[in-house]
Amino acid sequence: MTWLLCDYGEVLCLAPNDEDRTALEATAGWDPVSGDFWEAYWADRVSYDRADLTAEEYWTRVLGHPLDPVGELARLVRADAASWLHPNLASLAAVRRARARGLRPAILSNAPIEVAKKIEAAPWLASFSQRFFSCYLRAVKPEPAAYQAVLEGLDARPEDVLFFDDRPANVAGAAELGIEAHLFVDPAQLDEVRARG
């Protein structure tokens, strides 16, 4: 059995667009005088993705002040998750074709709990029988523990997995464990892979 393991962000979904980014900044009430919002957004994202930080802890660090969990925090969480829910239709079509060729699709994504729940509920990911998120694994790509947990979850050997990710460090991390890993740049790459033995 050959698994087609795909990253989610910017592989199966499109990157947040300008409208998403503007909406999130507005929801945060960000003052440009405070610096670059996106620098603050990414500074502790790995810890949030690994579930070392709760949503409240993460967004408090981003904004630099405590948040109202019912109002402000809830709006930020919704806007953040919504920005990662634009399907890459070309990639999804290529995955369906790969599945018809005998590959089994799965997802490995760095994502915090709140975003992972929204991704899991997306109907356009129904063909992915296995989905792994860093927040549940308590490990993020490119940490070896993330890939090892996926191999265990799939009951697969490294040579049974073909992995696509848009970040070179994540590709290198998978390759170090013997997984055939590819840097994703175009959905057409997914049409080139074939099931093994």
Q: What's the pTM value of the predicted model, to 2 decimals?
A: 0.96
Per-residue pLDDT of the chain (197 residues; tens, 9 = 90+): 899 999 999 999 999 999 999 999 999 999 888 899 999 999 999 999 999 999 999 999 999 999 987 899 999 999 999 999 999 999 999 999 999 999 999 999 999 999 999 999 999 999 898 999 999 999 999 999 999 999 999 999 999 999 999 999 999 999 999 999 999 999 999 999 998 86
Domain end point (choices 66, 82, 98) = 82
Q: Are residues 93 and 140 in the same domain?
A: yes
Q: Are residues 47 and 105 in the same domain?
A: no
Q: How many domains does the chain have?
A: 2
Q: Residue 33: its pLDDT value, please?
A: 86
Q: Are residues 163 and 97 in the same domain?
A: yes
Q: Are residues 55 and 102 in the same domain?
A: no
Q: Is residue 104 part of a domain?
A: yes
For residues 45 and 53, what is the distance between their CA atoms, to the nearest angstrom? 9
Q: For residue 173, what are the domain limits?
A: 3-14+86-191
Q: Residue 70: its pLDDT value, please?
A: 82
Q: Are residues 49 and 62 in the same domain?
A: yes
Concatenated DSSP letters of the chain: --EEEE-SBTTTBPPP-HHHHHHHHHHHT--GGG--HHHHHHHTHHHHHTTSS-HHHHHHHHHTS---TTTHHHHHHHHHHHTT--B-HHHHHHHHHHHHTT-EEEEEE---HHHHHHHHT-GGGTT-SEEEEHHHHT--TTSHHHHHHHHHHHT--GGGEEEEES-HHHHHHHHTTT-EEEE---GGGGGS-----
Q: Are residues 9 and 22 in the same domain?
A: no
Q: Residue 197: its pLDDT value, please?
A: 65
